A and B are shown apart, each in its own frame.
Chain A
Amino acid sequence: MKRIINLDINGQAHEVAVGPHYTLLQVLRDELGLLGTKKGCDTGGCGCCTVLVDGKAMYSCMIFAMATQDRKITTVEGLADNAVLDPVQQAFIEAGAVQCGYCTCGMIMTTKAYLSSVGSHVPDDLEARRAIAGNLCRCTGYQKIVDAIRLAASRRIVAGSEKG
């Protein structure tokens, strides 16, 4: 039985009819056409579908849409301010962290949540690797993703640039 719920996604209100078993991922992609969030496995194993829920990185395939009512959801579509990229997005481009790009949006969302949680700290190699250990990538060997995380952290202006 479907029910109408209200979702706050990237600061916009959405009214959507969902079944009790609909995952947030399913609603984002199939009901709302927010295709930036990717389905890689649908079983909580790859991290391609990572979004922010109240600022925390979560696998959107592992959370029911109904459980995200009244919570602040941020997807990759909510990061760039018009044409101005978020510093994390910019760093991923410059560091060469993007190959096929299918894991990229999930990686970026995980990085956003991680960098928000560590203040002005610039993570070392191991800290950056730990931060993205829940996101799989098959193209890059992660090295340039780690570079991108550290580049974004080192450039970050602590106040003001954080969204989500």
Chain B
Amino acid sequence: MSETSIIGTSVLRPDAYDKVTGGRGFPVNVRLPGMLHGKLLRSPYPHARILRIDTSKAECLTGVRAVLVPSEVPKKKFHPVFFSPGMAASMIPDMLILSDTVRFAGEPVAAVAATSPEIAEEALDLIHVDYEQLPFVLDPEETMKQGAPQIHQHAPNNIAMNPSFAFGDLEKGFEEADYVFENTYQTQRVHTCYMEPRVCVVDSDTFGNLTVWSSTQHLFGLREKLASALDIQVSKVRVVRPPYIGGGFGGKLDIGFIEPISALLSMKTRRPVRIEQTRYEDFITTARNPFKVVLKTGVKKDGTFVARSAKSILDTGAHATHGAVVLMVHGMYGFLLPYRCPNSKWEGFTVYTNNMIGGGFRGYGVPQAAFAVESQIDEICEKLQLDPIEFRLKNSHSEGQPHPFDPSSKLDTYRFADCLKQGAEAIGWSNGRSRARGTGTKRRGIGLACQPLWVSGCVGFPDIYEHSGAVIKLNADGTADLSMATIDMGSGQITTLSQIAAAELGVPAGAVRMTYADTETVPFDAPSHASRVTYSAGNAAKVAAGAAKKRLLEVAGPMLKTTPDNLETGGGRVYVKGAPDRSLPIADVVKQAESPYVRMVPDGMQRTSLQEKGTVIGVASLAPTANPSPATAEFVEVEVDTETGEVKVLRVVYAHDIGRVINPAGAEGQVEGGFQQGMGYALMENLVFDQENGACLTADFLSYKMPTALEMPPEIKSVFIESNEPTGPFGAKSLSEPCAIVPAPAIANAIYDAIGVRIRELPITPEKILTALGKLSE
């Protein structure tokens, strides 16, 4: 079997069998002997000081083993974000495990461990808390005004961060512009809606060592952040890699309240403690931050950008969490970098409010930016009567040019133009776009949106980890065990990494098995985030497999009476180059390496060689050498019912240069799932809060509307434009996040094409459409 029969093949997922028969491997299924169950008491107020907590009644309840209150937790503030070291200057440490000031409705104030979840729940009702309610603010612009309640001591005017970037001469640019457009775009707070709730089990021993199982996107991040929150050494924390987790999408990229609280309860009780969040708790502890973006753009008559400025306000809620980095990625990869413009300025604000905290979510600040940028491009094209495809091409980067993020490297593979061309062809752009809108009540339109530039990881980003590691060990039956800290959150990382390792080793795809790992046994890996795993972790898997192969050939050389450099592997065998009939099964070579030095044969003792002895193993720990950009264009057709305001997506074509495709079915799955998240963002999803008391009104799936199978379009067509990225494993770049970034602006643009009204605020609900059509009063 050659490399080409593994790479580019829709190898079936090795985890699928387990998942269709019950899925034992989810963290939610971890059970330990003697395990206690924890529950958190949460504040009903959005801003309050805790004057007194009386836990005496709760402690007397039969089955209660421990109660934890703010006075018992470490006083050192931490930031919860996994991918950045605890001491990183760009992050804002503003959290305590339990604080005596609560800053959002739902912030924990105490916790209980008991012999059953029911008893723990009952005990919460017996804890009496005296609160002093404080004035609160929920609006991200009000919060910056003089006289607004101060939420954190360190942040005057509640501004956690206020970065800006500029280049060129903005004023001159606007003077040279033939047209200037200024619009405001608003996005809402949405939830990742991973289906497996956040859950953890933490066990402790008498030396204070902790072992942790958790639904996490980052093994080593959890170790580092748990140690940081508890103010203990990292080597005291061991995190066990779950075989898989039930989704994440960025929502499990930080330490929750539950891990440090479980740890403290475990240390207090000397028992393992499990905490599983309820869906309500999930809904109020991570979200995509809402943004307001004011976008001002100057263009020449022919559509060339000459000046662009943007001001973005991010509501980070009660704590900064991801708000510091989401803002930067939004500014860089959402606004400044995707298109060329000589004169640009961006200013961002991350502001505290008494809303729920935010988190990561697929696209990390860029869906909010893309909605603004890609909507406005269509507005400009409409006004200047320019073709949206030509307009984008005119202002985009092209293959071979310096990489706009890191000009020391080049866009070696960059097929943005092909994405636009092939996508347009597949949807029937030239015939379907801007048709006469007709007179019926249902109108159809076609729209387009792009993410011209994206990442294959975080190389070059300040304060963000990027390296990966792998250990691969060959077995005497010709199979291999691959051990990595990489988390498979569902997107198929196990499959892809096994394919890459198998292709490099020269064994069939199924012969590589992803196996046990914990933070004590495998090298560091950065999180499963930033679309990075195939490219970055894939490179580590490939290099480790290459090292094992090198060792394999060293052992095989004498066996095949030649030198290692004359040998090659394939189909589970080692063979002599140019003479494939002179070959051995890899299993025989591994057996030789693993065999005793001296063997008993009928004639007596036979010596082998000492040089060949030892397990055939390969290890890698490395950072990728580049950060190549994929490119994306998405085309959608919608039907808008002008009587009801309902929008139906009819067809989707998603064209994407992702380098070489490792697993086509897996890649399609990313596109299709990404569209569901993006369509929910565009049309339906919204976390809504009571403005009187900050309480979440949409904390269950009956009131938080995410798309079901019925709302989804009948077909999502993936067009993969393959390039051969020289720095990627077998030519691969990245996938994932752009799939969820582009749907909202593509849908907004298609709605405009259908009914001629522009909605600049997500989600685009029937109410907004009917209001825009003048059929409802404001």
Residue numbers of A with Cβ under 8 A of B are: 19, 30, 33, 35-36, 38-46, 48, 76-77, 79-80, 85, 89-90, 92-94, 96, 98-105, 108, 125-126, 128-130, 132-146
B673 touches A99 (CB 8 A): yes
Residues of B within 8 Å of A126, CB to CB, are: 714
Identity of the chain B residue whose Cβ is nearest the Cβ of A98 in the assembled complex: B16
* Distance, CA A46 to CA B677, complexed state (A): 16
Identity of the chain A residue whose Cβ is nearest the Cβ of B20 in the assembled complex: A89
Identity of the chain B residue whose Cβ is nearest the Cβ of A99 in the assembled complex: B490
Residue from B22, B491, B708, B710 in contact with A99 in the complex, judged by beta carbons closer than 8 Å: B491
B437 CB–A CB distance under 8 Å = no
Which B1-46 residues sit within 8 Å CB-CB of chain A? Answer: 10, 12-13, 15-24, 26, 28-29, 31
Cβ contacts B706-726/A at 8 Å (1 or 0 each): 101110101110000000000
A102 touches B709 (CB 8 A): no
A48 touches B709 (CB 8 A): no
B12 touches A94 (CB 8 A): yes
B665 touches A96 (CB 8 A): yes
Residue from A30, A38, A48, A93 in contact with B12 in the complex, judged by beta carbons closer than 8 Å: A93
B699 CB to nearest A CB, Å: 9
30 A-B pairs (CB sep. < 8 Å): A35-B22, A35-B24, A38-B23, A40-B196, A42-B278, A43-B700, A45-B702, A85-B17, A96-B12, A100-B246, A101-B23, A104-B20, A125-B714, A128-B709, A132-B708, A135-B709, A137-B676, A138-B193, A138-B194, A139-B490, A139-B669, A139-B673, A141-B671, A141-B673, A141-B675, A141-B716, A142-B672, A142-B709, A144-B672, A146-B709
B709 touches A129 (CB 8 A): yes
A30 CB to nearest B CB, Å: 8
* Distance, CA A17 to CA B165, complexed state (A): 65
* Distance, CA A89 to CA B17, complexed state (A): 8
B492 CB–A CB distance under 8 Å = yes
Residues of A within 8 Å of B489, CB to CB, are: 100
**If A137-B195, A138-B195 touch, does A43 touch B712 (CB 8 Å cutoff)?**
no
A100 CB to nearest B CB, Å: 3
* Distance, CA A129 to CA B716, complexed state (A): 15
* Distance, CA A80 to CA B246, complexed state (A): 22
* Distance, CA A102 to CA B192, complexed state (A): 14
A21 CB to nearest B CB, Å: 9
B675 CB to nearest A CB, Å: 5
Residues of A within 8 Å of B700, CB to CB, are: 41, 43, 45
Residue from A30, A40, A125, A143 in contact with B672 in the complex, judged by beta carbons closer than 8 Å: A143
B197 CB–A CB distance under 8 Å = yes
Identity of the chain A residue whose Cβ is nearest the Cβ of B488 in the assembled complex: A100
Identity of the chain A residue whose Cβ is nearest the Cβ of B704 in the assembled complex: A45
**If A41-B279, A43-B700, A105-B23 touch, does A100 touch B196 (CB 8 Å cutoff)?**
yes
B677 CB to nearest A CB, Å: 7
Residues of A within 8 Å of B22, CB to CB, are: 35-36, 76-77, 105
Cβ contacts B111-140/A at 8 Å (1 or 0 each): 000000110000000000000000000000
Cβ contacts B308-334/A at 8 Å (1 or 0 each): 000000000000000000000000000
Identity of the chain A residue whose Cβ is nearest the Cβ of B676 in the assembled complex: A141
Residues of B within 8 Å of A104, CB to CB, are: 19-20, 23
B21 touches A89 (CB 8 A): yes
B197 touches A39 (CB 8 A): yes
The 7 closest A-B pairs by CB, nearest first: A100-B490, A45-B701, A102-B246, A101-B19, A36-B22, A141-B672, A142-B709
B389 CB to nearest A CB, Å: 25
Which B222-248 residues sit within 8 Å CB-CB of chain A? Answer: 244-247
Identity of the chain B residue whose Cβ is nearest the Cβ of A40 in the assembled complex: B195
- List 20 additional contacts besides A35-B24, A140-B669; criterion CB under 8 Å: A36-B21, A40-B701, A44-B702, A90-B20, A92-B16, A92-B20, A93-B20, A94-B12, A96-B12, A99-B673, A100-B246, A101-B16, A101-B20, A102-B246, A102-B247, A136-B193, A137-B676, A138-B676, A139-B673, A141-B675
* Distance, CA A128 to CA B675, complexed state (A): 19
* Distance, CA A108 to CA B22, complexed state (A): 10
A24 CB to nearest B CB, Å: 16
Residues of A within 8 Å of B10, CB to CB, are: 96
B279 touches A93 (CB 8 A): no
Residues of B within 8 Å of A144, CB to CB, are: 665, 668-669, 672
B673 touches A98 (CB 8 A): no
* Distance, CA A101 to CA B712, complexed state (A): 19
B249 CB–A CB distance under 8 Å = yes
* Distance, CA A126 to CA B716, complexed state (A): 15
Identity of the chain A residue whose Cβ is nearest the Cβ of B489 in the assembled complex: A100
* Distance, CA A130 to CA B710, complexed state (A): 6
B736 CB to nearest A CB, Å: 11
Residues of B within 8 Å of A44, CB to CB, are: 702
A163 CB to nearest B CB, Å: 14
B710 touches A133 (CB 8 A): yes
**If A35-B22, A45-B700 touch, does A96 touch B196 (CB 8 Å cutoff)?**
no
B716 touches A101 (CB 8 A): no
Residues of B within 8 Å of A105, CB to CB, are: 19-20, 22-23
A93 touches B17 (CB 8 A): yes
B403 CB to nearest A CB, Å: 31
* Distance, CA A89 to CA B22, complexed state (A): 10
Residue from A35, A130, A145 in contact with B29 in the complex, judged by beta carbons closer than 8 Å: A35
A77 CB to nearest B CB, Å: 6
Identity of the chain B residue whose Cβ is nearest the Cβ of A100 in the assembled complex: B490
Residues of A within 8 Å of B671, CB to CB, are: 141
**If A41-B279, A125-B714, A139-B490 touch, does A93 touch B16 (CB 8 Å cutoff)?**
yes
A143 touches B194 (CB 8 A): no
* Distance, CA A8 to CA B29, complexed state (A): 23
Residue from A85, A90, A102 in contact with B195 in the complex, judged by beta carbons closer than 8 Å: A102
Residues of A within 8 Å of B276, CB to CB, are: 39
Give the one of B192, B194, B666, B672 with max A CB within 10 A: B672
B709 touches A132 (CB 8 A): yes
* Distance, CA A128 to CA B712, complexed state (A): 12
* Distance, CA A85 to CA B13, complexed state (A): 16
A91 CB to nearest B CB, Å: 9
Cβ contacts B674-713/A at 8 Å (1 or 0 each): 1111000000000000000000000011100010111010
Residue from B195, B245, B490 in contact with A136 in the complex, judged by beta carbons closer than 8 Å: B195
